[in-house]
Amino acid sequence: MARVGDTVTARVLGVLDAFSAEHPELTLTEIARRSALPLSTAHRLVAELAGWGALERGDDGRYRIGLRLWEVGALAPRSVGLREAAMPFLTDLHEVTGENVQLAVLDGAEVVYVDRISGRGAVNVITRVGGRLPLHATGVGLVLLAHAPAALQEQVLAAPLRRYTERTICAPAELRRVLADVRRTGVAVSDRQIELVALSVAAPVRGPRDEVVAALSVVVPAATSDARAYVPVVRAAARGVSRSLGASG
């Protein structure tokens, strides 16, 4: 959160950081409180951000993130080329399975979802484009963590592992074994770790130097699905995206 003594830039970022998936719309007072700014300062910054298009004010007086900020964020180079290369294969995977398919990248110790195709009759998922989840509890997260630098792996293993369901991997030794399995098999299965109704099957996407740059997954109903049946099509989609990005493998 921004503080009174912070720079103008820090205060502006604090205002934007006040918004989240849990709080997508805020009143001016809520923005001031969540960004730790005086109400008068928050009023001035919010007005400037709204004038530029970074924020939008609804008829109810509440503010939300504006389209202008989305336009700027969509220019992030890691997202643009990757999404363009991946879309044909994500579409094919969705048409073959009829389920939710997702594309994600590593950012710090979290997964950021950069694209998603939802099936009308597919199992409900909590992920959204631009959303974040921890690495240890998602299929794409397990793939990205398994191929991450050793220092990041140790950082995640040493930190408290949040439990979402009784199936969430929270023991460092078990997570270490799972990561070794992901590297060996080239695929990750996250079975009811985030929600008890869903499991995901994920595979790595590689870049021009054969480094893992992203992961894609399909999310299916846990009660009626055999994860093994989805492994070949998920691997094939990941290989297709990798070839489009110039991977030699």
- Count CA within 13 A, CB hemisphere, residue 90: 23
Tens-digit pLDDT profile for residues 86-122: 999 999 999 888 888 999 999 888 988 888 888 776 6
Would you mind telling me the total number of residues written for the chain in this entry?
Answer: 249
For a pLDDT cut of 70, what percent of the chain falls above it? 90
Domains of the chain, each with CATH number or no CATH: 8-72 (1.10.10.10), 76-245 (3.30.450.40)
Q: What span, in angstroms and rounded, lies between the C-alpha atoms of 143 and 154?
A: 15
pLDDT at 70: 72
DSSP line for 172-206: HHHHHHHHHHHHHHS-EEEESSS-TTEEEEEEEEE
pLDDT at 187: 95
- Among 19-23, 39-43, 185-189, the minimum mean pLDDT is found in 19-23
pLDDT at 3: 47
Q: What span, in angstroms and rounded, lies between the C-alpha atoms of 52 and 137?
A: 38
pLDDT at 123: 62
Mean pLDDT of 16-26: 84
Q: Is the pLDDT of residue 34 over 70?
A: yes
For a pLDDT cut of 90, what percent of the chain falls above it? 48
Mean pLDDT of 168-197: 92
Query: Is-above-0.85 flag for pTM?
Result: no
Q: Is the pLDDT of residue 69 over 70?
A: yes
User: Average pLDDT of the chain?
Assistant: 87
> Do residues 227 and 201 make contact, with C-beta atoms less than 8 angstroms apart?
yes
